[in-house]
Amino acid sequence: MPQDSGTPKPAEITIPAPWFDLPKSFYEKLAGYAQEFGMTSAEFLTQSMAHYAKELRERNSPAAKTLGLRVTRQLKKLASEGAKNWWSQLTPEQRSERAKKANQARWAKNNSGETTPSRERKE
C-alpha cells in the first residue's frame, strides 16, 4: 500500500556490502538518517556524497585557501546579491541587449574554433 508523502518511510537496514568493512552501527545510522528525512538509504547516501563533494571543492578552492572559507562564502553571497540587484535595475530592453551581446561573444568564440556550441543555433 503506498504511503502518504507526509508519512516517513520505514527504516531499511540494508545488507552490508562485502567489499566495505563497515560496522553494523553504520548501516543502522544510515537507515535512521534516511528515515528521518523520508528517503531510502541509497537516496540519502547519494545526496550526502554530492553535498560533501561540493563542500570539499569549496574548501579546497584557491580563494578559500587564500582568504579563508568564511570570507570566501561572504564574498560569494555579496557578489550574488550585487548581481541580482544590478540586473533588477535594468529595463527588459537593456537585459535583452546584454543577452544578445553575450550570445554574439559566445558565437564569435565558438567560430574561432576554441569550442563548439552545445545546441543548434536558432535564427
For residue 94, the one-letter residue type is Q
41 contacts 12 by C-beta, under 8 angstroms: yes
108 and 72, same domain (yes or no): yes
- Name the residue range of residue 106's domain: 64-123
95 and 123, same domain (yes or no): yes
Residue 56 is assigned to a structural domain of this protein: no
120 and 69, same domain (yes or no): yes
Count of structural domains, the chain = 2
Residue 106 is assigned to a structural domain of this protein: yes
Would you write out the chain's pLDDT as a tens digit for each of its 123 residues?
444 555 555 566 666 666 678 888 888 898 899 999 999 988 999 999 999 999 999 899 998 888 898 999 999 999 999 999 999 999 999 999 999 999 999 898 877 765 555 555 454
Helices (H), 13-116: 24-36, 41-59, 62-67, 69-88, 92-111
At 88 the pLDDT is: 92
76 and 112, same domain (yes or no): yes
Residue 120 is assigned to a structural domain of this protein: yes
70 and 112, same domain (yes or no): yes
